Amino acid sequence: MGFVNILGEYLSYPGLFRKLLPANKGVNASRHVFGDDKNQYILSFTPKEPGRNTTVIYIHGGGWRQGSPDAFRFIGQKFADLGYHAVLPGYRLAPRHKYPVQAEDVFSGVKRYIELRGSAGNPVKDVIVAGSSAGAHLGAVLVYDRNLQEKYGIQRDIFKGFISLSGPLVFEECRGRTIAALLNGLFPRNYDRKSADPWSLVRGDENVPVLCIHAERDPLLETGNSIIFADRINSYKPGLARCHIEKSKNMFHSNLAAGIFLYDNPVADMLFSWIEELSAKESS
């Protein structure tokens, strides 16, 4: 079954890229630079119809070593079309740049966005963080790392939801050869990985609803990453986290982590309904 899932993952790439490339055509966004590296920028999207103040922060994946906000502009546009403010932060890539550079860039980008909105008289109050694969890890750090929140002046009470799509959220569950190699390339030698492990960052007093979505046939990341993380959240506050393990025979890692935004399917409907429910509770 492992080989079959790996094969399915690779066979899903052509169809995914055929949809990905045209999806970004004609999508424009406001671009704001916060550093000298080519990936230190954010893309921000404003809803066409004002009236909703919820912001969706989407963090791209790519094993911490590839990808950019520009490659996923269509996701920001998708959220803007649904009426949400959206921001896609970029970050410097491994293995050249070692952790915590990636997390610090996400925090810098979000801080820049909050400042821009504040200067325009439209403060950021309600934020739902979503991330795909490695981006889900960085999204969890954004929501749960109190030290970085304090360092960058990010108020943790603005976070109203966290979505992980095929995310590495429990490092002890990252046992596969591919994810182990990616983590080894991400962290400096002898780095205390516990300080970057989302499962370890949870303190239990958080009140952020969580949605974890993971494919049962994911050959790169064990489903335990989502199941055990959600269980930890619920051990403190029952019902705060929801974990959906997608059993479709055609869902693997990448075509769920990023493809969920490209295909019409029940999983995507569930994700958008979950966000809609949270946004209905936005602060006045």
Q: CA-to-CA distance for 132 and 152, rounded, in angstroms?
A: 23
Q: Are β-strands 30-33 and 41-45 bridged in parallel, bridged antiparallel, or unpaired?
A: antiparallel
Domain span including residue 165: 2-241+249-279
pLDDT tens digits for 236-261? Answer: 999 999 999 999 999 999 999 999 99
Asked if residue 195 is part of any domain, the answer here is yes
> Does a structural domain hold residue 200?
yes
Number of domains the chain is built from: 1
Structure confidence at residue 281 (pLDDT): 83
pLDDT tens profile 189-217: 999 999 999 999 999 999 999 999 999 99
pLDDT tier for residue 4 given thresholds of 50, 70 and 90? confident
The answer to whether position 85 is within a domain reads yes
- The mean pLDDT of the chain is 95
- In a domain, residue 158? The reply is yes
Is pLDDT at 36 greater than 90 in this prediction?
yes
pTM for this entry? 0.96
Within a domain: residue 62?
Answer: yes
For the stretch 101-146, pLDDT in tens is 999 999 999 999 999 999 999 999 999 999 999 999 999 999 999 9
pLDDT tops 90 at residue 45: yes
Residue 140 CB partners (closer than 8 Å, separation 6+): 131, 162, 164, 167, 169, 198, 201, 229
Alpha-carbon gap, residue 186 to 141, rounded angstroms = 15
Q: Which long-range contacts (CB under 8 A, 24 or more apart) does 258-265 make?
A: 258/16, 258/20, 258/60, 258/61, 258/72, 258/132, 258/133, 258/165, 259/12, 259/16, 259/19, 260/165, 260/213, 261/74, 261/75, 261/78, 262/16, 262/19, 262/20, 262/23, 262/74, 263/19
12 domain-assigned: yes
Question: Is 284 among the domain residues?
Answer: no
Size (the chain), residues: 284
Tokens representing residue 155 in the block: 């108020």
What CATH number is attached to the domain comprising 151? 3.40.50.1820
Is residue 49 scored above 80 in pLDDT?
no
Residue 157 lies in a domain: yes
